Amino acid sequence: AQSVTQPDIHITVSEGASLELRCNYSYGATPYLFWYVQSPGQGLQLLLKYFSGDTLVQGIKGFEAEFKRSQSSFNLRKPSVHWSDAAEYFCAVGSRSGTYKYIFGTGTRLKVLA
Amino acid sequence: SQTIHQWPATLVQPVGSPLSLECTVEGTSNPNLYWYRQAAGRGLQLLFYSVGIGQISSEVPQNLSASRPQDRQFILSSKKLLLSDSGFYLCAWSVRGASYNEQFFGPGTRLTVL
């Protein structure tokens, strides 16, 4: 069955520290891959996406993610976290077959300590 | 540029009452449209998606229904709300026929059923 796993429900880091949020997927073929961020009570904003090509993708707000086919992973990273990065982060996979449906992970809530 | 609107932003309804949530998209034509529900502590669950006027696909059997009376309008409805219908409802759109299927999300509606 297709699924997306974000194993860390909560992560707390100090401001200025590095960050890595994990995402693993189970899919029949290489899907499209996305990371979204959601501030409290708000909609989702796309941070970055992977379709093909370079497996290290750059996104907005200084985030990057690396697609590792052998590990079925698409982990999100940021070298230095800012207090404004506190939010919930969702990994999602989309089908290349045109069904237009996403599967979302359950999210990782990031807390940033001053 | 494209924008997506949802209203109302918040809603408190008694059990057994009807529901109508509206989503409209501006600045694009023939979008794919989606309704998601986000329950506390859980990820996003796709409820419905639509690839055209009057074309609705339901992902999860439930107490809700969706309609698309116009190209850029997507409505989520219920005849009688249940307590379990409480949650954060997100509408999203994507470009139809694109080789990728990035989704753009609205600001959401917080529904509380008492």
Domain B3-96+105-113 has CATH 3.40.50.10860: no
Residues 5-64 of A with CB under 8 A from B: 32, 34, 36, 41-46, 49, 51
Q: Which of A4, A51, A104 sits opposite B100 (nearest CB)?
A: A51
Q: What is the pLDDT of residues B59-109, one digit of tens each?
A: 887 889 999 999 999 999 999 999 999 999 999 999 887 656 789 999 999
Indicate the SS3 state at residue B84. helix
pLDDT band at A107 (very low <50, low <70, confident <90, very high): very high
H or E stretch including A64? Answer: strand A64-68
pLDDT for B110 beyond 60? yes
Domain ranges (residues) in chain B: 3-96+105-113
pLDDT for A102 beyond 60? yes
Q: What's the first-to-final CA gap in chain A, in angstroms?
A: 41
pLDDT band at A97 (very low <50, low <70, confident <90, very high): low
Rounded distance between C-alpha atoms, residue B10 and residue B15, angstroms: 16
Backbone angles phi, psi at B102, to 5 degrees: -60, 135
Residue position matching structure tokens 């006027």: B53
The answer to whether the peptide bond before residue A79 is cis (omega within 30 degrees of 0) is no
pLDDT for B10 beyond 80? yes
- What is the CATH class of A3-113? mainly beta
Q: What is the distance of C-alpha A78 from the center of its chain? A: 11
Q: Do A90 and B106 touch (CB under 8 A)?
A: no
